[in-house]
Amino acid sequence: MLKKILLSENEIPKQWYNIVADMVNKPLPPLNPATKEVLSAEDLEPIFAKELIQQEMSQDRWIDIPEEVRELYKIWRPTPLVRATGLEKALGTPAHIYFKNESVSPIGSHKLNSALPQAYYNKKQGIKRLTTETGAGQWGAALSFASSVFKLDLEVYMVKVSYEQKPYRRMMMQTWGANVIASPSNKTESGRSILAKDPNNSGSLGIAISEAVEMAAKDPDTRYTLGSVLNHVSLHQTVIGLESEKQMEIAGEYPDIVVGCFGGGSNFSGISFPFLRHKIVDGKGIRIIASEPASCPKLSRGKFEYDFGDSVGLTPLLPMYTLGHDFQPADIHAGGLRYHGAGTIVSQLRKDGLIEVQAIPQLETFEAGQLFANTEGIIPAPESTHAIATVIREALKAKEEGVQKNILFCLSGHGLIDMTAYDQYLTGNMSNYKLTDEEISKTTDSLEKLV
């Protein structure tokens, strides 16, 4: 039996898959927050590259991957599909567990799948400089390398507390030539206004987004980029699931269950949309599970409403499952999952009952992560451990029921830059944050009905 299913470079997909084409209920459109009118492409042009806006709004099923981007994907793609035989044995489960190993990318996660095309389309349009925000730094690292390749200047607004506490990812971004700025900063009006009120403000993703968007909006040679939530990001990430489909076929099996961790939706969409297509179009009996933190349970306990994408309220209004744009998630280690809302496509799919959700407490995720490290060798990113925890739940259920299930999940990244989190877990200093009903009701009660 093969441990890994590999594909050759000419099997890297030539097109991304756009699930909107196959959705019975299309996602509701984003709205202009000032007019409450449906947002136009022109509204977005000062902020995003034109071709990315087209992709954001496209209803085409297949969108060509530019040859330049495919060439760069070859640095690490196709990624291996690995049979987690060590984990299966440790669990004593009849389930066959497969994982798509996105941790082999040079930056250590799946984020590069979208960073490269985003940098490419901006370069093609003649843009000189990109801005973005980053929390823990996975997206910032990916865009730093992508900007280096396409010789674009890059400003990354990194949440100040992460800038100080997670120096390794800052140093990675700087090694690739990015200008990394602790946010809130004195460079922007948004930053200065925050600092005027509170000189010791330690920052938030919402503030960092405001700074990055502001810098893009005021310079015609600059555009903003985002690593999750948006439709075009999900689109780019479908290379994960499209490769996995071919690899499962080579393995001679089809997944009964597909799992991805869930923050804004980038790796989850990537692994699941190509399989969801067969559920929607061909009626395949397949369960799709999003694993989110119990401390930030937007899909399991949020409301489906129009809400802002950022905390401050500068972005368009998006129809999504949300805990409220002013929701302050607990300081869990899976920084990539600390976001108040879900992307609009995933939200619609959830509303239509096409995907399931599990909310996992932090300690269970690290227990899963350590077992995975000891059986498969790879220390997973704190985000990815959520998917592993769900896989373990499902594999043990299969054992109890005595049925052989095929379970596929996305290992979105490795955790080598997140070792302090494992240290806290191993030394018994980790909290298990779980949102109480009271906290949730407080949060959802505070949501405005915007439309």
Catalog residues that contact a second copy under the rule CB under 8 A. 2-4, 6, 8-9, 71, 74-76, 82, 86, 104-108, 112, 145, 148-149, 167-168, 171-172, 174-177, 370, 373-374, 376-379, 414, 416-417, 419-420, 422-423, 426
Distance in angstroms (rounded) separating the CA atoms of residues 212 and 158: 10
Q: In terms of CB distance, is 38 or 416 closer to a second copy?
A: 416
Q: In terms of CB distance, is 39 or 417 closer to a second copy?
A: 417
Q: In terms of CB distance, is 20 or 378 closer to a second copy?
A: 378
Under 8 Å between Cβ of 411 and 260: no
Q: In terms of CB distance, is 105 or 234 closer to a second copy?
A: 105
- Which two structure tokens, joined as six digits, stand for 72? 């760069």
Q: What region, left, alpha or beta, does residue 313 occupy, with left being phi > 0 and alpha being psi -120 to 50 degrees? A: left
| Radius of gyration, CA atoms only, the chain | 20
Distance in angstroms (rounded) separating the CA atoms of residues 69 and 71: 5
Question: At its nearest, how many Å lie between a second copy and the CB of residue 439?
Answer: 31
CA dihedral of 218, 220, 226, 227, whole degrees rounded to 10: -140
Q: In terms of CB distance, is 256 or 376 closer to a second copy?
A: 376
CA dihedral of 85, 90, 95, 100, whole degrees rounded to 10: -50
Give the residues across from 131 on adjacent strands: 155, 224
Give the residues across from 64 on adjacent strands: 15
Question: At its nearest, how many Å lie between a second copy and the CB of residue 287?
Answer: 28
Q: In terms of CB distance, is 108 or 293 closer to a second copy?
A: 108
Q: In terms of CB distance, is 184 or 369 closer to a second copy?
A: 369
Q: In terms of CB distance, is 76 or 254 closer to a second copy?
A: 76
Question: At its nearest, how many Å lie between a second copy and the CB of residue 89?
Answer: 11
Distance in angstroms (rounded) separating the CA atoms of residues 364 and 431: 11
Distance in angstroms (rounded) separating the CA atoms of residues 374 and 232: 36
Give the residues across from 305 on adjacent strands: 320
- Burial class for 238, CB neighbours closer than 10 Å (0-12, 13-18, 19+): buried
Question: At its nearest, how many Å lie between a second copy and the CB of residue 373?
Answer: 5
Question: At its nearest, how many Å lie between a second copy and the CB of residue 139?
Answer: 15
- Which two structure tokens, joined as six digits, stand for 365? 């995720």
Distance in angstroms (rounded) separating the CA atoms of residues 265 and 228: 6
Q: In terms of CB distance, is 38 or 426 closer to a second copy?
A: 426
Distance in angstroms (rounded) separating the CA atoms of residues 340 and 349: 18
Question: At its nearest, how many Å lie between a second copy and the CB of residue 159?
Answer: 18
Query: Is residue 369 within a helix (H) or strand (E), and if so which, with residue range?
Result: helix 362-376
Question: At its nearest, how many Å lie between a second copy and the CB of residue 313?
Answer: 35
Question: At its nearest, how many Å lie between a second copy and the CB of residue 32?
Answer: 38
Distance in angstroms (rounded) separating the CA atoms of residues 122 and 325: 28
Question: At its nearest, how many Å lie between a second copy and the CB of residue 205?
Answer: 23
